[in-house]
Amino acid sequence: MTWSSPSQTVIDASQNEAQRVPFQVSAAMVDQFATLSGDFSSLHIDKAFGRRSGYRDNVVHGMLPLMFLAALPNCQLEGYTATMKKLTARFLKPIYVGDTLLLETKLSAFNEGQMVAEFEYAVKNDRSGAVMTTGLFSLAYIDAQPINPQDYKSNMSEAAGLLPERLIEQQLDFNMINKGDEKLFDFRVRRSHAHHLYQILTDGLTSTAPPDFSSWISGYNPANALAVSLFSTFVGMCIPGKNATFMDFQATCDQPIRWDTPYRFIGTVRFASPSTETITEKVAIRSLDKTQTPLVSGKISAKVNTPPTQMATIEDLKQQAVDLGLKNKVVLITGASRGLGETTAKLFSLYGARVVVNYYRGQSDAQRIVGEIEESGGQAIAVQADVSDRDQVVRMIETVQAELGSVDILINNAVGNFSATNFLELTWDTLQKDIDVIIKGAFHCCQAVLPAMIEKNSGKIINISTIAAEIPPAGQTKYVVAKSGLVGLTRTLAVEFAAHNIQVNMVTPSIMETDLTKNISKMFLEGMKNDTPMQRNATPVDVAKTIVYLASSLASFTTGQQIMVTGGNPPLL
Residues 392, 444: Cα–Cα separation, whole Å: 10
Q: Which residues pair with 169 in a beta bridge?
A: none
Residues 183, 168: Cα–Cα separation, whole Å: 12
Q: Of 507, 503, 499, which is closest to residue 460 (Cα–Cα)? A: 503
Residues near 10 by beta carbon (within 8 Å), at least 6 away in sequence: 112
Q: Of 60, 57, 53, 3, which is closest to residue 27 (Cα–Cα)? A: 60
CB 352 within 8 A of CB 322: no
Three-class HEC string of 318-354 = HCCCCCCCCCCCEEEECCCCCHHHHHHHHHHHHCCCE
Residues near 15 by beta carbon (within 8 Å), at least 6 away in sequence: 107
Residues 508, 278: Cα–Cα separation, whole Å: 33
DSSP result, 401-416: HHHT-S-SEEEE----
Residues 41, 35: Cα–Cα separation, whole Å: 11
Region of residue 325 (left: phi > 0; alpha: psi -120 to 50; beta: else)? left
- CA 205 to chain centroid, in Å, comes to 23
Catalytic site positions = 479
In this structure, the dihedral spanned by the alpha carbons of residues 438, 439, 442 and 447, taken in order and rounded to 10 degrees, is -160
